[in-house]
Amino acid sequence: MGLERAEELEDLGKKLALLQQPKPPKGFGQIREFASVAWDLLKARPDIDLLPPCHQKVINENDLDLNDLPLLRPWPEDAGGAITLGLVITKDPETGVPNVGVYRLQRQSAKSMTVHWLSVRGGARHLKKAAAIGKNLEVAVAIGVHPLLVMAAATPIPVQLSEWLFAGLYAGEGVRLTNCKTLDLQVPSHSEIVLEGSISPGEEMMDGPFGDHMGFYGGVESSPLIRFHCLTQRKNPIFLTTFSGKPPKEEAMIAIALNRIYTPILQQQIPEIIDFFLPMEALSYKLAIISIDKAYPGQAKRAAMAFWSALPQFTYTKFVVVVDSNINIRDPRQVVWVISSQVDPQRDLFLLENTPFDTLDFASENLGLGGRLAIDATTKIGPEKNHDWGKPLSRSKELEEKIDERWIELGLSDLENSQPNPELFGYVIDQLIRQKQTNNS
pLDDT tens, position by position, 365-384: 888 888 999 999 999 999 99
Break the chain into its structural domains and give their ranges.
7-233, 270-384, 397-440
Q: Among 112-126, 177-191, 335-349, which stretch is predicted with the lowest mean pLDDT?
A: 112-126
Question: Which pLDDT score is estimated for 256?
Answer: 80
Q: Among 6-15, 53-62, 197-206, which stretch is predicted with the lowest mean pLDDT?
A: 6-15
3-class SS string, 287-325? EEEEEECCCCCCHHHHHHHHHHHHCHHHCCCCEEEEEEC
In the chain, the percentage of residues whose pLDDT exceeds 90 is: 50
* Listed residue (175, 207, 183, 228) closest to 47, CA to CA: 175
Per-residue pLDDT averaged across 151-171, rounded? 73
Query: Residue 138, Cβ neighbours under 10 Å: how many?
Result: 21
pLDDT at 336 over 70: yes
Which one from 212, 275, 358, 376 is the annotated catalytic residue?
212
Fold of 7-233: Pnp Oxidase; Chain A (2.30.110)
pLDDT at 408 over 60: yes
Which three-class secondary structure state does DSSP give residue 142? strand
User: Do residues 343 and 377 lie in contact, with contact meaning Cβ atoms separated by under 8 Å?
Assistant: yes
Q: Which CATH superfamily is domain 270-384 in?
A: UbiD C-terminal domain-like (3.40.1670.10)
Residues 6+ apart with CB under 8 A from 412: 424, 428
Residue 310 and residue 287: Cα distance in Å, rounded?
Answer: 15
Residues 6+ apart with CB under 8 A from 388: none
pTM for this model (two decimals): 0.79
Same-fold call for 7-233 versus 270-384: no
Query: Does residue 212 have an active-site annotation?
Result: yes
C-alpha count within 13 angstroms, C-beta hemisphere, residue 231: 22
Residue 309 and residue 215: Cα distance in Å, rounded?
Answer: 26
Share in percent of the chain as helix, strand, coil (round to 5): 35, 25, 40
Residue 361 and residue 363: Cα distance in Å, rounded?
Answer: 5
Question: Which pLDDT score is estimated for 391?
Answer: 85
Condensed to tens digits (0 to 9), the pLDDT of residues 51-106 reads 999 999 999 999 999 999 999 898 999 999 999 999 999 999 998 888 899 999 99
Give the long-range contacts of residues 333-341, CB within 8 A, separation 24 or more.
335/289, 335/377, 338/377, 339/375, 339/377
Please report, in angstroms and rounded to a whole number, the separation of the first and last CA atoms in the chain.
Answer: 60
The widest CA-to-CA distance across the chain, in whole angstroms, is 96
Residue 413 and residue 136: Cα distance in Å, rounded?
Answer: 66
Residue 329 and residue 333: Cα distance in Å, rounded?
Answer: 9
Exposure string of 165-182, with b = 16+ CB inside 10 Å and e = fewer, is bbbbbbbeebbbbbbbbb
In the chain, the percentage of residues whose pLDDT exceeds 70 is: 89
For residue 221, what are the CA distances in angstroms to 60, 86, 232, 360? Answer: 30, 21, 30, 11
Residue 288 and residue 280: Cα distance in Å, rounded?
Answer: 10
Nearest-Å Rg of the Cα atoms of the chain is 26
Q: How much is the mean pLDDT over the chain? A: 86
Q: How many whole angstroms from its chain centre is CA 221?
A: 25
Indicate the angle between helix axes 163-171 and 27-44, nearest 10 degrees: 100
